[in-house]
Amino acid sequence: MYILKAMELTLKGKTAVVTGGTHGIGRAMARRLAACGAHVFIFDIDADDEIDFPCRYVRCDVTNRASIEAAFDVSGVPDALFINAGTGIVKPLEETTREVWDKTISLNLTAAFETLQAAAARMKAAKKPGAIVLTASTNSYDGEENLIAYNATKAGVLGILHTAANELGPYGIRVNSVNPGLIRTRLTQAAFDSPPVIKDYFRAIPMGRGGEPDEVAKAAIFLASDWASYITGATLLVDGGQLCCKFGPWKDTEAEFVEGHWRRLD
């Protein structure tokens, strides 16, 4: 007998926190979370008066522990936490100064660790199960040129992910990551604005195009939802297939690059 009912993907009534939720991928996460019924808190250094969905902005510098703790005092204990704030500074190896290195480590790695640590302590004390989703990257696995500090942090995020999933599993707290490829945000807009750059870049992507922030948001929210109830310690690539292939499928003899993406000629 067929008795399984369609289950809605919902976070209705849940408290969801998104770091770096004012712009880009984090903003798309916050918007989707609001659509899924969550009470959304954005922790960010930057405010945006034009945010047009229900959420509460909490000014927070995630590189400062006291600021993180004060922000969680406002949000309360989260059911779902998206550790997403991050940056990438493009510099060749020899030009990556100690300042660039420290700044990148501080935001992408130390702040991710401290946000997770602060939230985990509160979730455990409240005996509240929940889900944490880190924003890692395809660069967690590769050595894209001119991004040595960024690549080191995103590889490091996987260390945080695996250890936190291990230690928090017994408390009913799942920890996973989304690993985006090239996604259109202010961090990457310059590349998207340069057809020769993206033509070449997207040649190596089976889907033949870059990604949109909402495509990462949907994957992240799946990981935070009950639909992923037995998933922890996992990384979910959201990269149009970029990391599954060595050279990519797009050839000039069989395809053309139009309006920002590759299309087969037949």
Q: What part of residues 149-188 is at the interface with ligand NAD (CB under 6 A)?
A: 180, 182-183, 185-188
Minimum distance between the CB of residue 70 and ligand NAD, rounded to whole angstroms?
Answer: 13
Least Å from the CB of residue 28 to ligand NAD: 8
61 binds ligand NAD (CB under 6 A): yes
Structure tokens at 121: 């302590």
Q: Among 5-13, 19-27, 164-172, 250-258, which window interacts with ligand NAD (CB under 6 A)? A: 19-27
Among 25, 55, 132, 164, binds ligand NAD (CB under 6 A): 25
Q: Which of 12, 17, 52, 20 is nearest to 36 (CA)?
A: 12
Residue 170 CA to residue 136 CA, distance in Å, equals 23
Is residue 46 a contact residue for ligand NAD (CB under 6 A)?
A: yes
* Selected binder of ligand NAD within 33, 40, 55, 62 (CB under 6 A): 62
Active site residue 201: no
Q: Would you say the C-alpha torsion 132, 134, 138, 142 has a positive or negative sign?
A: negative
Annotation says 137 is catalytic? yes
Coil, helix or strand at residue 2? coil
Q: Is 133 in contact with 224 (CB distance < 8 Å)?
A: yes
154 belongs to the catalytic site? yes
Phi-psi region of 241 (alpha: psi -120 to 50; beta: other; left: phi over 0): left
Q: Smallest distance from the beta carbon of 4 to ligand NAD, in angstroms?
A: 35
248 vs 208: CA distance, rounded Å:
9
d(CA 146, CA 89): 8
Strands 261-264 and 15-19: unpaired
> Catalytic residue among 57, 75, 154, 201, which?
154
User: Which residues are marked as active site?
Assistant: 137, 150, 154
Q: Which residues bind ligand NAD (CB under 6 A)?
A: 19-20, 22-26, 44-46, 60-63, 84-88, 107, 135, 137, 180, 182-183, 185-188
